């Protein structure tokens, strides 16, 4: 069955962005970047892949699901298909996509469950935190880029998720001179 993979940068105190939605406090240079560009290239937007000369077919995921607020910066930059190498789905109850390459769903949980029954590639949960909170019980794998910063407030890693004891077990942790830690987990009951 296909995995839903939440791959996201986060602060030490569990925020994926500042209160205004920016993530400038997170390290975008350093020795961890080579790993991001190599092992997680599937999760890079198309314009970043092009700038880096990454043309390889996706190997880890073949679909991306994101919230409207995650999709908006691409639209603001004139990019209506930010992940052209992946099947793209945006979760929104009120918006519609103008791109034939981007589907919109009002029910991300049902959509993820349907996606699990087809194909073999993973599903990349690109964000944001509110969507991750909605999909928390569907997430099979976490790949957290822990940045050595405490924000104090901002957009939570799992916004609006109801309380429950959800266990994940660590599978791999790598620490870099940049201070970033890439920590991977799988759902403990999987």
Contacts of 91 by beta carbon, 8 Å cutoff, 6+ apart: 65, 66, 67, 68, 104, 105, 106, 108, 111, 131, 134
State pLDDT tens for residues 21-67: 888 889 889 999 999 999 999 999 999 999 999 988 889 999 999 99
Answer yes or no: is pLDDT of 190 > 70: no
Q: What is the pTM of this model?
A: 0.95
Cβ-count burial of 151 within 10 angstroms (0-12 exposed, 13-18 middle, 19+ buried)? buried
Residue recorded with tokens 């892949």: 49
Answer yes or no: is pLDDT of 173 > 70: yes
State pLDDT tens for residues 64-118: 999 999 999 999 999 999 999 999 999 998 988 878 999 999 999 999 999 999 9
**Span 9-29, mean pLDDT?**
92
The predicted structure's pLDDT at residue 56: 85
Contacts of 37 by beta carbon, 8 Å cutoff, 6+ apart: 44, 52, 54
**Span 113-127, mean pLDDT?**
93
The tokens describing 46, both together, are 């198309």
The predicted structure's pLDDT at residue 119: 77
Identify which has the larger pLDDT, 120 or 183: 183
The predicted structure's pLDDT at residue 101: 95
CATH number of this structure's domain 4-179, picked from the four choices 3.30.930.10, 3.40.430.10, 3.20.20.150, 1.10.4190.10: 3.40.430.10
């Amino acid at each position: 069955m296909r995995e839903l993979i939440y791959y996201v940068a986060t602060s030490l105190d569990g925020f994926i962005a500042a209160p205004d939605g920016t993530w400038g406090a997170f390290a975008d240079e350093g020795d961890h970047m080579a790993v991001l560009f190599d092992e997680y290239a599937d999760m890079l937007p198309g314009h970043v892949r092009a700038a880096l000369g990454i043309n390889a077919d996706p190997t880890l995921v073949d679909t991306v699901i994101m919230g409207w607020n995650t999709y908006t910066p691409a639209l603001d930059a004139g990019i209506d298909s930010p992940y052209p190498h992946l099947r793209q789905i945006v979760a929104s109850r009120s918006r519609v996509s103008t791109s034939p390459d981007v589907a919109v769903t009002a029910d991300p949980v049902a959509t993820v469950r349907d996606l699990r029954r087809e194909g073999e590639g993973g599903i990349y949960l690109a964000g944001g935190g509110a969507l991750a909170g909605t999909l928390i019980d569907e997430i099979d794998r976490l790949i957290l880029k822990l940045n050595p910063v405490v924000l104090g407030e901002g957009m939570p890693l799992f916004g609006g998720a109801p309380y429950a004891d959800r266990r994940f077990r660590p599978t791999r942790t790598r620490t870099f001179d940049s201070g970033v830690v890439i920590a991977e987990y799988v759902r403990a009951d999987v």
